[in-house]
Amino acid sequence: MIELYYAEDDANIAEMVKEYLEQKGMKVQIYHTLSEIRQALEKHMATVVLLDWNMPDGRGDSLCRWIRSHWKELPILFLTVRGDSSDIVAGFKSGADDYVVKPFALEVLYSRILAVLRRAGNVTEQYLSCDGIRIDQDRHAVFCHSEEIPLSAAEYQLLLYLMQNKGRTVTRAKILEQVWDVNGSYVNDNTLTVTMKRLRDKLSQPACLKTVRSVGYRMEDTI
């Protein structure tokens, strides 16, 4: 499902857009400030961002630059008022992919969203996230609250496997099989315990990484 994060301070417009896009099968989350949508992106990766350019706590180009510093491929569309050519120029300079001028027809907005998604491909497959932890699978990079965290190969593979199974409990035996045995390097159960401790320490003991006593581990959003 397409998850759209929508930054809009006009509640009437926001609800109208949300209702229409959800009828088209999208999941829409509305945010009323740039700060709110930034916090949401730090916790969970959206498929596309729709951004009203003039928000109560700033202009949209500041958020665009921040997004581009974290996710170069995340599709961004911004909404601007008719005749505001300076906003359009600033939007593209800051990294936005397209824009729609207010007032707009909902059908036009929907078609522009689909167009940028076709150009971008499925960016959400590249990124995995849980609370403030994020994995960029293309770069094999891990971030915790926007700070890149260096991990060993085993720590990275362990975190990746748990992220890929987010919301499900995975047994210790299954983790050993998938993270170590699959590479032909069998290790004993203590290796998992030590690797997990190091991973948790590097990620500052995240609440989203849970131990299921006598079974295994589970990652799930807590915020």
Q: Contact 219/165 with Cβ under 8 angstroms?
A: yes
Q: Is residue 139 part of a domain?
A: no
Domain span at 107: 3-125
User: Does any domain span residue 12?
Assistant: yes
Same domain? 212 vs 111: no
- When pLDDT is cut at 50, 70 and 90, the band that residue 18 belongs to is very high
Mean pLDDT of the chain: 90
Residue 175 domain flag: yes
Are residues 109 and 156 both part of a single domain? no
Tokens encoding 81: 């008022």
171-181 pLDDT tens trace: 999 999 888 87
Q: Are residues 110 and 163 in the same domain?
A: no
Over pLDDT 90: what percentage of the chain? 66
The mean per-residue pLDDT over the stretch 99-108 comes to: 93
- pLDDT (tens digit per residue) in 46-73: 999 999 999 999 999 999 999 998 888 8
Q: What CATH number corresponds to the domain at position 92?
A: 3.40.50.2300
Reported in sequence order, the residue ranges of the chain that DSSP labels E, i.e. its strands, are 3-7, 27-31, 48-52, 54-55, 58-59, 76-81, 98-102, 127-130, 133-136, 141-144, 147-148, 170-171, 209-212, 216-219
Q: Are residues 22 and 109 in the same domain?
A: yes
Distance CA 49, CA 84 (A): 20
Q: Does residue 182 carry a pLDDT above 70?
A: no
Domain count, the chain: 2
